[in-house]
Amino acid sequence: MDLNLVRTFSRVVEAESFTAAARSLGLPKSSVSRAISRLEEELGARLLERTTRQVKLTVTGRVYYDGAIRALAALTDAEQFVAESQGEPRGTVRLTVPLAADRAVLSDIVARFTERYPAIRVEVSFTNRVVDLVGEGFDLALRGSRNGRLQGQSLIARRVAQMSLWLLAAPSYLKSHRPPRRPADLRNHDFILYTFGGGTLKTWELMGPRGLEPVEVTGVLSSDDALFIRELVLRGAGITLMVPRMEDIASGALVRVLPDYEVPDLSISVVMPSNRHVPRRVALFRDALIEGLKAFPGAIRESIENPAKQIA
């Protein structure tokens, strides 16, 4: 089997287009089309359904693609191990982070890292979907969780920050709406809701002087982008629940609502698959990411890492 055919196939699947794949590979579209046809002939199966607008995997193609990207990732790791053992670390590191991640902090970490290691390429993907790190070829992920519990595949995790969610609103909103004095008063207010994984967080589990008080909330505005939600709140569109920016509080741009209440124990962790060799380039970037995230508000200063810890 010609591995170039497999790599071309995976690029077409990722791009969902022969044209886009050809552009990224620097090849004529006809060459990419012939490569896919040749691969299908060798396998004796149809891998792709071709339409005028996009390309989709067949059922057989999906199974083959899942296996192919794992094999290509393993081969790439082996190639990079040999290259790195000969000298300067090089290759690609892929990181997936949630949409709410602080872009200023991350961009500073990435820029400093690539300046120090110019032969290492860093790809950062923003999504709220829980990515299958092994299946989708990612090396690292930045993930949030409640009480330090991560769901999904077996992972090695390093918790780097612990923070709380506050109820926040703009002064302009509170001027036109009576500020709530207790959680029950929230039913009379407008809310901006956060959506995650296709669902909306409609119950806010507030912790206060009387313990846990779940509050049911509704609103006409919702988004999966924390930056967009912040802009809506700044414009006086309603109350939201989010990680506060201290500069917003200090400047008076946002006001804490019900200051005795919060959603605590939100952990931010750097995670990676537990069942694969860690290339030097990935270990270097992992360490740089953890060190850089110490600038996060709520960062955990003491070392709590247990390299052997498996989090299911």
In this prediction, residues 246-259 reach a mean pLDDT of 92
Does residue 119 contact residue 146 with C-beta atoms inside 8 Å?
no
pLDDT tier, 197 (very low <50, low <70, confident <90, very high otherwise): low
Residue 303 lies in a domain: no
What residues make up the domain containing 50? 3-75
Residue 291 lies in a domain: no
Domain boundary among 50, 75, 100: 75
Least trusted range by pLDDT, from 38-47, 233-242, 267-276:
267-276
pLDDT tier, 306 (very low <50, low <70, confident <90, very high otherwise): very low
Domain boundary among 52, 75, 98: 75
Q: What is the pLDDT of residue 52?
A: 65
Q: What is the pLDDT of residue 301?
A: 45
Whether 310 has a pLDDT exceeding 50, the answer reads no
- Select the more confidently predicted residue: 139 or 79: 139
Residue 232 lies in a domain: yes
Query: Domain with 62 in it: what CATH number?
Result: 1.10.10.10
Q: What is the pLDDT of residue 303?
A: 34
Give per-residue pLDDT as tens, 68-89: 888 887 787 777 667 666 667 8
Residue 106 lies in a domain: no
Number of domains, the chain? 2
Residue 185 lies in a domain: yes
In this prediction, residues 140-144 reach a mean pLDDT of 88
Residue 288 lies in a domain: no
Whether 309 has a pLDDT exceeding 50, the answer reads no
Tokens standing for 85?
């053992």
Q: What is the pLDDT of residue 29?
A: 87
Closest by Cα among 93, 45, 90 to 67: 45
For the chain, the first-to-last Cα distance in angstroms comes to 36
Give per-residue pLDDT as tens, 256-293: 999 999 988 778 889 988 766 788 899 999 999 999 98
Tokens standing for 174?
């509170």
Query: Domain with 245 in it: what CATH number?
Result: 3.40.190.290
**CA 295, 298, 303, 305: dihedral to nearest 10 degrees?**
-100
Domain boundary among 75, 102, 126: 75
pLDDT tier, 196 (very low <50, low <70, confident <90, very high otherwise): low
Share of the chain above pLDDT 70, in %: 85
Q: What is the pLDDT of residue 148?
A: 54
Q: What is the pLDDT of residue 276?
A: 64
Q: How far is CA 268 from CA 120, 249, 265, 306, in A?
A: 25, 22, 10, 16
Q: What is the pLDDT of residue 297?
A: 60
Residue 284 lies in a domain: no
Mean pLDDT of the chain: 83
Q: What is the pLDDT of residue 230?
A: 92
Helix (H) or strand (E) holding 60: helix 59-85
Residue 140 lies in a domain: no
pLDDT tier, 139 (very low <50, low <70, confident <90, very high otherwise): very high
Tokens standing for 185?
């008063």
Q: What is the pLDDT of residue 254?
A: 95
